[in-house]
Amino acid sequence: MHRILQRQIEHFFGKDKNIPEDWKEFLDAVSQTYAHFDEDRELLDRSLSLSSEEFFENSRKLEKAKQEVEQIVEERTLQLAEEKSRLLASVENLSLGFAMFDLQGKVLNINQAFKNFLAINTLENLSELNSLLGKDSVLQKLFDKCLNSKQPVNLENFSLGKKYFTFFLTPVILANTNQVIGVVMIIEDFTKEQEIDKAKSEFIILASHQLRTPLTIIKWNSEFLTKQVTENPALFNYIKNIKAIEEGTSRMAALIQALLNVTRVEIGKLAISPELISPEEVSRLSMEELRAQAEIKDLAVKEFYEQGLPQMKADPNLLKIILQNLLTNAVKYTPEKGMISLGVGVDKENILNKPAVVFTVSDTGYGIPFQDQTRIFTKLFRSENIKLVGASGTGLGLYLTKAIVESCGGKIWFKSPVHMSHASSAQGSSFFVALPVDGVPKKEGVTFLPENNSREVLYS
Ligand code: ADP
């Protein structure tokens, strides 16, 4: 019998009194229940004492971990502080201008070069910088674009007085949250490069002009000699030599003209005079002027004009130069009895993201070797396969054509399925030019004239 139950029975029935027989079974059950209670309490006590031990052990571990973390944080803070000072020292000594802004445009950090470039002692915020540059909102717009797009943005060739700068803006993004917290602005001073470029271009223009005089004299004299020789049969043998002089002069004249044009385009002196034109009319004219050259090589000439072509705003002279360059190449780089074609149609692929007309000049010629295809629009580049067939050229035509097309708001590209440098594997080329129907605004500068006219200008 459980001791507590025993005591209670004794208390209730008296010590010596016998317990009624029919209670015994019931009291045994109660006694067992008491015993279960005891077991449970013992278990509970044990687990309680155990968990408090664990608790103390864990707190000790926690305290130790806390101390370790604190030490790591302290060391890391020190490292960060060192890194920050190193970074600031390098930023301070950068030859590029450096400034860091927060989201509101407040300057958080700025180096000496930045202040030197803009001739300032301090800079508080972006609006101060905007008014300092005198071109309100240009930088603000750029700043907003950088923040919104989360992408770096540039502002090139920004002129301030006699200086030229490029601004590079980069968003500062928190790596884990992808949240923008500010903008870093770098300024590069391009004044010296600009001056060198300008001097170089001016030299080329001057030298080219100077070269025209002796060329004109050679041209006049060879014309005079041709006349003398044709009038005097005894001198017929010399006609070949005089022709060679004339050809050489023409090639040099073309090269000088191309150099002059390239230089003018590079220094942004290309004049654009858009007017409402019929793309078909200008194309037909350009093709007509080239027909004689194509006939010499017995080339088939084809033209395709889409029905209902729109009138477009474009500079007819520039369009003619573009087409002339492409057509001349097609004739030059297609062997005898081949075929060249000119097609004009409406842009169906929305290449310029606005209505455009696409001009296509195709040929069945030597094509452009695969390995040269990325360099075809670079200055002075000529493919090996073309050099092999001995076609003359300057390597400036496509570079100039691309520059003109882009100045007119257009795009130029080509397809040529040749995969080997060997001319015999040729499958021709197609050059495409897309120009916007609404054109670009008029621009002052040097007027470029198509081939025939420019020759006259050169020799006059
Ligand atoms: P140029 O014709 O005076 O060499 P371009 O700049 O007009 O200079 O052309 C550059 C080069 O591109 C050419 O030398 C030639 O290798 C290649 N090229 C241009 N057009 C064609 C064409 N229609 N077919 C094959 N190759 C071409």
Strand order, beta sheet including 339-346: 300-305, 339-346, 356-363, 429-436, 411-415
Atom of ligand 1 nearest to the CA of 386: 16
Task: Give the Å distance between the CA of 359 and the centre of ligand 1.
Answer: 18
* pLDDT score at 460: 25
* pLDDT score at 357: 97
Count of residues in the chain: 460
Q: Is 265 helix (H, G, I), strand (E, B) or coil?
A: helix
Residue whose CA is closest, atom 20 of ligand 1? 329
Contact between 324 and 359 under an 8 Å Cβ cutoff? The reply is no
Task: Give the Å distance between the CA of 244 and the centre of ligand 1.
Answer: 23
Contact between 421 and 384 under an 8 Å Cβ cutoff? The reply is yes
More confident residue, 279 or 83: 279
In the predicted model, is pLDDT for residue 134 greater than 80?
no
In the predicted model, is pLDDT for residue 459 greater than 70?
no
**Mind listing the pLDDT tens digit for each residue in 350-378?**
999 999 999 999 999 999 998 899 999 99
Contact between 261 and 400 under an 8 Å Cβ cutoff? The reply is yes
Question: Residue 427 carries which side chain, given as an amino acid letter?
Answer: Q
Q: Is 253 helix (H, G, I), strand (E, B) or coil?
A: helix
Task: Give the Å distance between the CA of 396 and the centre of ligand 1.
Answer: 9
* pLDDT score at 5: 84
Contact between 256 and 211 under an 8 Å Cβ cutoff? The reply is yes
Tokens representing residue 144 in the block: 């907003």
In the predicted model, is pLDDT for residue 322 greater than 90?
yes
**Mind listing the pLDDT tens digit for each residue in 228-247?**
888 888 888 888 889 889 88
In the predicted model, is pLDDT for residue 128 greater than 70?
yes
* pLDDT score at 112: 93
Which residues are CB-contacts of 320 (< 8 A; sequence separation ≥ 6)?
A: 282, 285, 286, 450
* pLDDT score at 412: 97
Q: How far apart are CA 222 and CA 216, in angstroms?
A: 10
Question: Residue 374 carries which side chain, given as an amino acid letter?
Answer: T
More confident residue, 453 or 75: 75
| Confidence label for 419 from pLDDT (cuts 50, 70 and 90) | low
Pocket of ligand 1 (CB under 6 A): 329-330, 333, 363, 365-368, 376, 381-383, 386, 393-399, 429
| Confidence label for 457 from pLDDT (cuts 50, 70 and 90) | very low
| Confidence label for 418 from pLDDT (cuts 50, 70 and 90) | low
Residue whose CA is closest, atom 21 of ligand 1? 329
* pLDDT score at 455: 36
Task: Give the Å distance between the CA of 412 and the centre of ligand 1.
Answer: 14
Task: Give the Å distance between the CA of 250 and the centre of ligand 1.
Answer: 19
| Confidence label for 454 from pLDDT (cuts 50, 70 and 90) | very low
Which residues are CB-contacts of 361 (< 8 A; sequence separation ≥ 6)?
A: 323, 326, 327, 329, 330, 340, 341, 342, 430, 431
Contact between 432 and 358 under an 8 Å Cβ cutoff? The reply is yes
φ, ψ of residue 350 to 5 degrees: the values are: 55, 45
In the predicted model, is pLDDT for residue 157 greater than 90?
no
Question: Residue 92 carries which side chain, given as an amino acid letter?
Answer: E
In testing the pocket of ligand 1, which one of 252, 321, 372, 376 has its CB within 8 Å of the most ligand atoms?
376
Mean per-residue pLDDT for 166-177? 90
| Confidence label for 136 from pLDDT (cuts 50, 70 and 90) | low
Mean per-residue pLDDT for 202-212? 82
In the predicted model, is pLDDT for residue 285 greater than 70?
yes
Task: Give the Å distance between the CA of 265 and the centre of ligand 1.
Answer: 19
In the predicted model, is pLDDT for residue 453 greater than 50?
no
In testing the pocket of ligand 1, which one of 396, 398, 418 has its CB within 8 Å of the most ligand atoms?
398
In this prediction, what percent of the chain has a pLDDT beyond 90?
Answer: 47
Q: How far apart are CA 327 and CA 294, in angstroms?
A: 9
Atom of ligand 1 nearest to the CA of 385: 16
* pLDDT score at 173: 92
Atom of ligand 1 nearest to the CA of 383: 16
Task: Give the Å distance between the CA of 395 and the centre of ligand 1.
Answer: 7
Mean per-residue pLDDT for 136-143? 82
In the predicted model, is pLDDT for residue 206 greater than 70?
yes
More confident residue, 19 or 3: 3
State the sign of the Cα–Cα–Cα–Cα dihedral 211, 212, 213, 215.
positive
Task: Give the Å distance between the CA of 194 and the centre of ligand 1.
Answer: 30
* pLDDT score at 360: 98
pLDDT averaged over every residue in the chain = 87
In testing the pocket of ligand 1, which one of 250, 251, 342, 368 has its CB within 8 Å of the most ligand atoms?
368
For tokens 């017929």, the residue is 236
Q: How far apart are CA 225 and CA 219, in angstroms?
A: 10
φ, ψ of residue 361 to 5 degrees: the values are: -115, 115
Residue whose CA is closest, atom 11 of ligand 1? 382
Contact between 147 and 103 under an 8 Å Cβ cutoff? The reply is yes
Residue whose CA is closest, atom 7 of ligand 1? 397
In the predicted model, is pLDDT for residue 15 greater than 80?
no
Q: Partners of 313 in the beta sheet?
A: 276
Mean per-residue pLDDT for 416-435? 74
In this prediction, what percent of the chain has a pLDDT beyond 70?
Answer: 95
Mean per-residue pLDDT for 263-273? 82
- Its pTM surpasses 0.85: no
* pLDDT score at 456: 33
Task: Give the Å distance between the CA of 171 and the centre of ligand 1.
Answer: 42
| Confidence label for 425 from pLDDT (cuts 50, 70 and 90) | low
